[in-house]
């Protein structure tokens, strides 16, 4: 009878464990999806290092769960940029692997637009450290018809991001150009991609609202050998500034070089670029002498402005990677995305569905970039826009000030 009673107690214990939520003994997996080739590698490679450091500090644990991490590349060698087919293939592989519970990615909003619906149908969470295209989460100036609902075929949200979207960036940049730089007429350029055109359209909409003159708006061909004809056309408009929306790996170095060659330095004709150009690789591609004097905005606090627990994290991270290595603008946001992921897993029952629910219930006060929580759309509850100035003999992005947005 004692033996039977013991078996009964054991059976009840197993049932209780199952009802209590999740199998704490199982191993869960986080992946990251970033472009790890070409000019992106300086930034995205450091983002991977930041995620790895978060995992190291956590001893690969989230609550009672063991968590593995694997980095994936969404770029291809022939272009050095993200690739549509690779993004889709990556997303399908994550969806089919039941051990994967969160994708930290993507870097490029166009890649995110491909991956989100695939992961949404699989009920798999996605946390981006860098996507800023508004239409992924909200509708507004510069977004396309059907956005954001078309990315969520299940009718439920599975995507969050730890940076503010470009409706804020476009507004902040337009106000800075008019009020701080005294610009009268601006020519707008975009790289024809989802993010680049989106932030350029958001900028144009805000510029019109505040009475900043628009001399023109065109997309540039990233495969063109040079842009002297385009810059000559812009010169003829009399524009006293250029706004560039896009990513610098799309031949942005040549674009900036030809801007200076035809229109003059960045004091003569002001240049403001979106966060996709705020990369150290731009100085190598364009030459510091052509980039210096340009301003760049990004929805990220610079390392110099990080305080509290984030400053302690940064100190340890810099010691690990080398104190002489510059911290790129999205690096600490990759760390925050990883911290958010581990926190949600620790509070969950280990299922994909509950992990998504816990992500939306995030309330971290000591992440690498400060406090982090999300609204119902998956956007950070408190965003930021910061201004950087290109400066120095070798070129670097130096923090200038926080920007204000009217959006």
Kindly state whether residues 92 and 41 are assigned to the same domain: yes
pTM (2 decimals)?
0.86
Contacts of 10 (CB under 8 A, 6+ apart): none
User: Is residue 144 a contact partner of residue 176, using CB atoms and an 8 Å limit?
Assistant: no
Kindly state whether residues 66 and 139 are assigned to the same domain: yes
Kindly state whether residues 111 and 153 are assigned to the same domain: yes
Residue-number span of the structural domain to which 359 is assigned? 26-164+305-373
Residue 407 lies in a domain: no
Kindly state whether residues 258 and 395 are assigned to the same domain: yes
- What does the pLDDT read at residue 10? 42
Residue 1 lies in a domain: no
Q: Output phi, psi for 299, to 5 deg.
A: -85, 45
- What does the pLDDT read at residue 323? 81
- What does the pLDDT read at residue 405? 65
- What does the pLDDT read at residue 386? 96
- What does the pLDDT read at residue 24? 52
Kindly state whether residues 269 and 396 are assigned to the same domain: yes
> CA dihedral in degrees (308, 313, 316, 318; nearest 10)?
-100
3-state secondary structure of 101: strand
Give every residue of the chain whose pLDDT is below 50, as ranges: 1-22
Residue 106 lies in a domain: yes
Domain total in the chain: 2
Kindly state whether residues 292 and 321 are assigned to the same domain: no
H helical segments located in 347-397 = 352-360
Kindly state whether residues 396 and 328 are assigned to the same domain: no
């Amino acid at each position: 009878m004692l033996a039977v009673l013991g078996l009964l107690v054991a059976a009840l214990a197993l049932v209780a464990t199952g009802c209590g939520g999740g199998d704490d003994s199982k191993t869960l997996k986080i992946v990251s999806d970033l472009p790890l080739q070409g000019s992106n590698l300086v930034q995205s490679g450091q983002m991977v290092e930041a995620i790895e450091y978060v995992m190291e500090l956590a001893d690969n644990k989230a609550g009672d769960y063991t968590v593995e991490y694997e980095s994936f590349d969404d770029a291809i060698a022939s272009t050095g940029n993200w690739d549509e087919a690779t993004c889709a293939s990556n997303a399908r592989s994550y969806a089919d692997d039941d051990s994967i519970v969160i994708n930290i990615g993507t870097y490029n909003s166009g890649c995110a637009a491909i991956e989100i619906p695939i992961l949404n149908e699989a009920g798999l969470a996605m946390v981006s450290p860098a996507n800023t295209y508004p239409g992924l989460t909200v509708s507004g100036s510069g977004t396309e018809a059907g956005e954001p609902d078309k990315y969520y075929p299940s009718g439920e949200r599975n995507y969050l991001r730890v940076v503010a979207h470009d409706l804020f960036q476009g507004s902040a940049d337009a106000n800075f150009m008019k009020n701080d730089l005294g610009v009268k007429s601006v020519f707008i350029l975009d790289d024809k991609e989802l993010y680049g055109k989106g932030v350029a359209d958001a900028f144009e909409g805000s510029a019109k609202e505040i009475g900043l003159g628009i001399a023109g708006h065109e997309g540039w061909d990233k495969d063109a050998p040079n842009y002297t004809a385009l810059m000559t056309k812009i010169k003829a408009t009399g524009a006293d500034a250029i706004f560039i929306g896009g990513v610098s790996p799309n031949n942005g170095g040549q674009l900036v070089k030809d801007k200076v060659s035809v229109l003059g330095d960045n004091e003569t004709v002001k240049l403001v670029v979106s966060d996709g150009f705020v990369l150290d690789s731009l100085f190598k591609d364009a030459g510091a002498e052509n980039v210096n004097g340009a301003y760049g905005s990004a929805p990220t606090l610079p390392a110099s402005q990080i305080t509290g627990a984030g400053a302690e994290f940064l100190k340890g991270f810099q010691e690990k990677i080398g104190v002489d290595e510059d911290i790129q603008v999205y690096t600490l946001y990759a760390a925050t995305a990883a911290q958010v992921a581990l926190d949600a897993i620790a509070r969950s029952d280990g299922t994909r569905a509950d992990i998504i629910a816990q992500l939306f219930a995030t309330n971290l006060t000591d992440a690498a970039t400060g406090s982090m929580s999300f609204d119902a759309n998956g956007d950070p509850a408190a965003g930021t826009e910061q201004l950087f100035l290109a400066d120095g003999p070798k070129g670097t992005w130096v923090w200038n000030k926080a920007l204000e947005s009217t959006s």
